[in-house]
Amino acid sequence: MTLGLVGNRLVSFAVTLFVASVVIYGALYLAPGDPATLLAGGHATPSVIASIARQEHLNQPFVVRYWDWLAGVLHGNLGESFLYKQPVASLIGGRVLNTVFLVVYASILIIVGGVALGLLAALRRRTGVVITVGTSIGLATPSFVAAIILITIFAVNLKWFPVFGAGTGFAGRLSHLTLPAIALALSWLAYTAQLTRAAVHEELGKEHVETAHSRGIKQRRVVSRHVVRNAMIPITTVSGLTVAGLIAGDVVVEQAFGINGLGSFLVQSALDKDFASVQAVALILVTAFVVINVIVDLWSLVLDPRLRARAA
């Protein structure tokens, strides 16, 4: 029963991924100008363009071209950047680690910080007001604004953290990527905190919590076993949305802090009109988004047994 459910989800996401890849690849044909010129990066001579057209078999129908590209991607060949005269895969190799580190770091901050703040706000009334005001401002702060505020305070004045770059090694990255992670996490942390507060507040008023109290269970245990556990359900559901925003915000934060990651590479490629690179990175980011959504979806099934029955 559950297996069918999981399979269902996977199929649905495979379809989304497929369509997304078609859109990404197809954008090449929607753009003004012919594909060869675009791939050449717009600064090429007619002979270069012609050779690219031959090399990429651009005279073949769209479906064949798309299939070749997709097959290549699945084998690890992400296309060739004509600007840098290198396979895209080698260009992004080192950068992936920085981006993953940053996004994971930010995610931990969001989950731990957001849930903790939300819980606090729901359980203690006076701190709750302060937290609500703080999160309203945090919600409205774009990641690049948070970045420059953090840079101003911490890097220039207090000099606790380095200002640019991603650093090397684990400890180096931890130090370099702390401010960026905070900048990236801020608005999502605020959102999660507000959501958590609302969910916990609602859960606290539920009857099954009253039952637990009536049986003499300690408040701390009531909160952890009945309130938080149940409130996690709506929070997890919304997490899928936040991931897309994180991926987008990561692009901005990498630029702001001069981090050598996928995001900054994407910006640079877009500006340089290095189309092959843009395609490849966009595909990676969208895939990551879809995959994480599947995981979150499946995790919801684990958390709430009612969903398993309902969807079967």
Partner 1 sequence: MSATAAPVLAPPPAAGARRGRRRSTLLRDPVAVAAGLFILGLVAVAVLAPWIAPYSPSAGSILSGNEGISSAHWLGTDSFGRDLLSRLIFGARLSLLGPALIIAISTLVGATLAIAAAWIGGWPDQVVSRVADILFAFPGLIFAMIAVSMFGAGLIAPVIALSISYTPYLMRVVRAAAIQQRALPYVSACYVEGLPAWKICLRHLLPNVAPILLVQATLSFGYALVDLAAISYLGLGVQPPAAEWGLMVSEGQSSILAGHPQESLAAGVMIILTVVAFNLLGDRLASRQGMELA
Partner 2 sequence: MNVLELDALAVDLLVEGRLSRVIHEVTLNVAESQAVGLVGESGAGKSMTSRAVMRLLPAGAVIHGDIRFWGRSVLAMDTGQLRAFRLRDAAMIFQDPRAHINPVRTIGDFLTEALLERGESRHRADAIVSGLLSAVGITDAARRMRQYPHELSGGLLQRVMIAAALAIEPKLLLADEPTTALDVTTQSDVMVNLGTQRRERRLAMLFITHDLELAAAVCDRIAVMYAGYLVEDSPAASLHAEALHPYTAGLLASRPSPSARSRRLAAIPGRPLSAFEAGDGCVFASRCPFAVDRCRAERPMLREFASGRVACHRVEEIRGRLSAVASGTAAYE
Residues 6+ apart with CB under 8 A from 6: 298, 301
Cα→Cα distances 44→40, 59, 118, Å: 6, 19, 55
CB of 2 to partner 2, least distance (A): 13
Closest-CA residue to 265 (of 20, 90, 42, 122): 90
Question: Which residue of 11, 148, 174, 295 would you call a contact of partner 1, by CB under 8 A?
Answer: 148
**The entry of partner 1, partner 2, none that residue 142 binds, CB within 5 to 8 Å by partner kind:** partner 1
Query: Can you name the residues that pair with 33 across neighbouring β-strands?
Result: none
At 258, give phi and psi (nearest 5°). 65, 40
Q: Which residues, numbered 195-254, are part of the site for partner 1 (CB under 8 A)?
A: 238, 241-242, 244-245, 247-249, 251-252
**DSSP letter assigned to residue 36:** H
Residues 6+ apart with CB under 8 A from 181: 102, 105, 106, 109
Name the residue nearer to partner 2 (CB basis): 9 or 206. 206
User: Residue written as tokens 């009531």?
Assistant: 222
**The entry of partner 1, partner 2, none that residue 275 binds, CB within 5 to 8 Å by partner kind:** partner 1
**The entry of partner 1, partner 2, none that residue 251 binds, CB within 5 to 8 Å by partner kind:** partner 1
92: number of Cβ within 10 Å:
21
Q: d(Cα 116, Cα 286) in Å, to the nearest integer?
A: 29
Name the residue nearer to partner 2 (CB basis): 127 or 211. 211
CB of 7 to partner 2, least distance (A): 22
User: Which residues are at the interface with partner 2 (CB under 8 A)?
Assistant: 206-208, 210-218, 221, 225-226, 229-230, 233, 303-306, 309
**The entry of partner 2, partner 1, none that residue 31 binds, CB within 5 to 8 Å by partner kind:** partner 1
CB of 44 to partner 1, least distance (A): 16
At 109, give phi and psi (nearest 5°). -60, -45
Q: Does 285 bind partner 1 (CB under 8 A)?
A: yes
Q: Does 20 bind partner 1 (CB under 8 A)?
A: yes
| Neighbour-count burial of 139, counting CB atoms closer than 10 A to its CB (0-12 exposed, 13-18 middle, 19+ buried) | middle
Q: Does 69 bind partner 1 (CB under 8 A)?
A: no
Name the residue nearer to partner 1 (CB basis): 143 or 300. 143
Q: d(Cα 71, Cα 114) in Å, to the nearest integer?
A: 41
User: Which parts of this chain interact with partner 1 (CB under 8 A)?
Assistant: 16, 19-20, 23-24, 27, 30-32, 38, 136-137, 139-145, 148-149, 151-152, 156, 163, 187-188, 191, 238, 241-242, 244-245, 247-249, 251-252, 255-256, 266-267, 269-271, 273-275, 278, 282, 285-286, 289-290, 293
